[in-house]
């Protein structure tokens, strides 16, 4: 059986190093915001070529805290609108709501699955304050165009980089925007539990965020802001310090698999993902489309290949957004709905072998 993602195997090469970290952790007896969190914040900021990394509890909190931080600085206010792709994972949208802001959904491009920049301008109102660019499946959204629209309209761009650790534009990893990362175990850089981080070059925002994640406090028992408790766990930070040096190699392996899928799969019933072969894609997921998804998924399963669907129901069709809440269920986003009806994620991971990839290709080509 080719598993969709064999996390036990992904992490097994790090076991000795994890044990050493655990032993050191037990020896220290210091459990919250210790040396490992500090070290990871330094390491990940350096990796992202950024001045600040704020370690937090998970990717959702990273996003929520960024919005709360901007509100604290007076750059956004309760009720302001944030533009977000309609086909994103629901966490992006929920984070906006959690910060008392209003999500405004925009269709993605069918080819790239990222927000269609040409549709943003029409959705901008006097209440719009930000665009949340989501780098879905590991591919960067069209940041050049999005940043230009933001500049013209005096908007803030926030990047949801939960699925895109290590993806970058041109030669430069540095982003002018604040970015949110998730270290959920299945992510390209995954912890052994929940974890997240914010990357920012905005010193003023960073200062507020370091407090906001810790009850709004910089000095123990003195609270400057109404913060929350969302600190990156010390042990998860230790594990992430072990794994971070391998991230680029892992991403390169993912790209190698993607190239093999892209050149090998030849079947009219399958639409392959678009990629311009630059480093703007780290293939967190390799997502194909097909009209008879259930049939294809069953066929692959019969042949020992596990697949997943990211995601079966679009956010606006979720029960959570029923008439009693937002009333989004009646909205129509045809591209988003088509994507959610047709997408299927093939196995891809840092430990997948070339033979396994070739087997998946062979089975797909005989479908």
Ligand X SMILES: Cc1ncc(COP(=O)(O)O)c(C=O)c1O
Residue number, 117 or 138, with CB nearest to ligand X: 138
Pick one of 89, 210, 215, 275: the residue that binds ligand X (CB under 6 A).
Answer: 89
Q: Are strands 222-223 and 217-219 parallel, antiparallel or unpaired?
A: antiparallel
Residue number, 160 or 360, with CB nearest to ligand X: 160
CB of 340 to ligand X, least distance (A): 14
Residues 6+ apart with CB under 8 A from 210: 54, 218
* 195 Cα distance to chain centroid: 12
- Whole-angstrom distance, CA of residue 367 vs CA of residue 364: 5
CB of 316 to ligand X, least distance (A): 16
Count residues binding ligand X (CB under 6 A). Answer: 15
Quick check: 196 binds ligand X (CB under 6 A)? Answer: yes
Name which of residues 166 to 185 contact ligand X (CB under 6 A): 182, 184
CB of 230 to ligand X, least distance (A): 10
- Whole-angstrom distance, CA of residue 281 vs CA of residue 169: 9
Q: Edge-to-edge strands of the sheet including 128-134?
A: 52-56, 196-200, 178-182, 156-160, 128-134, 81-85, 102-106
Q: Characterize 65-75 residue by residue with b for buried, 16 or more Cβ atoms within 10 angstroms of its Cβ, and e for exposed.
A: bbbbbbbbeeb
Residue number, 88 or 139, with CB nearest to ligand X: 88
Stretch that binds ligand X, among 143-151, 155-163, 169-177, 287-295 (CB under 6 A): 155-163
CB of 180 to ligand X, least distance (A): 7
CB of 235 to ligand X, least distance (A): 16
CB of 310 to ligand X, least distance (A): 8
Stretch that binds ligand X, among 84-92, 242-250, 320-328, 339-347 (CB under 6 A): 84-92
Cα separations (Å) of 82 from 209, 240, 275, 357?
19, 31, 27, 39
Site string for ligand X, 236-255 (x = CB under 6 A): --------------------
CB of 20 to ligand X, least distance (A): 26
- Angle, alpha carbons 287-291-292 (nearest 5°): 100
Tokens of 304: 């020992």
Residue number, 160 or 250, with CB nearest to ligand X: 160
Three-state SS at 231: coil
Residues 6+ apart with CB under 8 A from 28: 34, 35
Name which of residues 265 to 294 contact ligand X (CB under 6 A): none
Q: Count other Cβ atoms within 10 Å, centred on residue 309.
A: 16
CB of 335 to ligand X, least distance (A): 18
Stretch that binds ligand X, among 31-39, 47-55, 76-84, 87-95 (CB under 6 A): 87-95
Site string for ligand X, 118-137 (x = CB under 6 A): ----------------x---
Residue number, 315 or 347, with CB nearest to ligand X: 315
Pick one of 150, 162, 240, 346: the residue that binds ligand X (CB under 6 A).
Answer: 162
Name which of residues 42 to 71 contact ligand X (CB under 6 A): 58-60
- Whole-angstrom distance, CA of residue 53 vs CA of residue 180: 10
CB of 137 to ligand X, least distance (A): 9
Q: Are strands 81-85 and 128-134 parallel, antiparallel or unpaired?
A: parallel
* 248 Cα distance to chain centroid: 16
Residues that bind ligand X (CB under 6 A): 58-60, 88-89, 91-92, 134, 160, 162-163, 182, 184, 194, 196
């Amino acid at each position: 059986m080719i598993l969709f993602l064999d996390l036990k195997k992904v992490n097994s090469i790090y076991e000795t190093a994890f044990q050493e970290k655990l032993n050191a952790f037990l020896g220290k007896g210091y459990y919250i915001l210790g040396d490992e969190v500090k070290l990871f914040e330094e390491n990940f900021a350096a990796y992202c070529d950024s001045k600040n990394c704020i370690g937090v509890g998970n990717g959702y909190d990273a996003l929520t805290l960024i919005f709360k931080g901007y509100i604290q600085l007076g750059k956004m206010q309760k009720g302001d609108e944030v533009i977000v792709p309609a086909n994103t994972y629901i966490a992006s949208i929920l984070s906006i709501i959690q910060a008392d802001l209003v999500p405004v959904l925009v269709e993605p491009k069918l080819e790239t699955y990222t927000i269609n920049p040409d549709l943003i301008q029409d959705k901008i109102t006097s209440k719009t304050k930000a665009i949340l660019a989501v780098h879905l499946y590991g591919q960067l959204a069209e940041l050049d165009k999005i940043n230009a629209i933001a500049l013209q309209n005096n908007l803030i761009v926030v990047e949801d980089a939960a699925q895109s650790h290590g993806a970058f534009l041109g030669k430069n990893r540095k982003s002018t925007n604040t970015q949110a990362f998730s270290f959920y175990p299945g992510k390209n850089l995954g912890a052994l539990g929940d974890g997240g981080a914010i990357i920012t070059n905005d010193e003023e925002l960073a200062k507020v965020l370091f407090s906001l994640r810790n009850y709004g406090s910089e000095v123990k028992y003195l609270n400057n802001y109404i913060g929350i408790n969302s600190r990156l766990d010390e042990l998860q930070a230790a594990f992430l310090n072990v794994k971070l040096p391998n991230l680029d190699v892992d991403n390169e392996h993912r790209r190698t698999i993607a190239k093999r899928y892209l050149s090998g799969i030849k079947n009219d019933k399958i639409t392959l993902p678009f990629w311009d072969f630059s480093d703007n894609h780290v293939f967190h997921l390799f997502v194909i489309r097909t009209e008879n998804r259930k049939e294809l998924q069953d066929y692959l399963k019969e042949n020992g290949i596990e697949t997943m669907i990211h995601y079966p129901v679009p956010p606006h069709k979720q029960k959570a957004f029923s008439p009693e809440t937002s009333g989004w269920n009646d909205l129509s986003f045809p591209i988003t709905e088509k994507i959610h009806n047709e997408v299927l994620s093939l196995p891809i991971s840092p430990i997948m072998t070339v033979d396994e990839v070739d087997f998946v290709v062979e089975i797909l080509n005989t479908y």
